[in-house]
Amino acid sequence: METSDPNELAPDPLAPEPEADGILSADVVRGFMACVFGFMFAGAAVWILALDPNAGGPRAAWGGWKLRDVFITLAAAYCLRATAQYVWAVLLFQREGKGGSPVPQLTQNLGSGAWQVLACLAAVGAFALAPYGQPVESLGLVPPAAGAMTTALVVGIAAGPGGVLLFVILGRLTRDPLKIEGSQADFVAPRGGPRPPRGAVAGMILVGVVLAPFAEEVLFRGVVYPGLRSAVGPWLAVVLSAVLFGLGHRDHGAAAVVFTALMGVALALLVEASGSLWPAVLAHVLVNTKLVLMYLGAFRDPAAP
């Protein structure tokens, strides 16, 4: 005969039951909706870029990017990026389900980042350039003045390697081993586990330091900022485009949103002052070079937390 423990608390009949992870969980629904809209934009992109019967005919008159172009291109970029991320995750899940060897976490993240970069560039090409038959120079990819590149060099070093140096100096002065933490750091340099493959490290440096900054500049300072500028003027456009840029990094936490928005202001001002996208690309690349330091530390002491 079993006896109950008098010290054991009886369950509260009014307490809500814990939610089980079912087929209609929040992650599943979110992934399904992202894929639905992503495939819609992907189909439209294929039609515009490859199957449009009027591709060789006259294009609509173009007087610069409009708000419509900004909203459509942004929506396409985010939906295509989300779809690429979910599809990549499903492919990895199926591979492991069939008995394949586990894919290192950094390799998984590298594939996700590469697909997102491609999705961003595809959105710009299909929904900003192709409808008007515009060349890439319309995005601001024109030769800049030497002075603008020098300014971009200073901005990029100050916000990238300079920021890391300040971080280290503060740690030494306060005798507190400050650490770079957060979802963004975990994405580019996953902690724990075996040493990441060198090929994945090289690929992540290429994607995170070069390709991702280029793709983001093409989207935000090549399409979003000029479109907002034509509608609300340069100063408000600088602020609005920076806010949108920051919110685009909300998955990495509040600190990343604030820092990215501030960088968005500086990058938009570089484009406004130079009339070229290349200074913003250079500054953005230099800011992201701080990612390399994460890998140097991991290779020096791979067992360190």
CA-CA-CA-CA torsion sign (286, 290, 293, 294)? negative
- In this structure, is residue 129 part of a structural domain? yes
Number of domains making up the chain: 1
For every residue of 56-119, which 3-state class applies, written as one string? CCCCCCCCCCCHHHHHHHHHHHHHHHHHHHHHHHHHHHHHHHCCCCCCCHHHHHHHHHHHHHHH
- In this structure, is residue 57 part of a structural domain? no
pLDDT tens track for 208-244 = 999 999 999 999 999 999 999 999 999 999 999 999 9
If DSSP codes are grouped into helix, strand and coil, which group holds residue 277? coil
pLDDT tens track for 160-197 = 888 777 767 776 777 665 565 566 666 766 776 667 78
Q: What domain range is 156 assigned to? A: 26-50+65-300
- In this structure, is residue 119 part of a structural domain? yes
- In this structure, is residue 189 part of a structural domain? yes
- In this structure, is residue 9 part of a structural domain? no
pLDDT tens track for 31-90 = 788 888 898 999 999 888 887 766 656 666 778 899 999 999 999 999 999 898 888 888
* Predicted model pTM: 0.83
- In this structure, is residue 213 part of a structural domain? yes
10 Å Cβ neighbour count for 129?
21
CA-CA-CA-CA torsion sign (197, 202, 206, 208)? positive
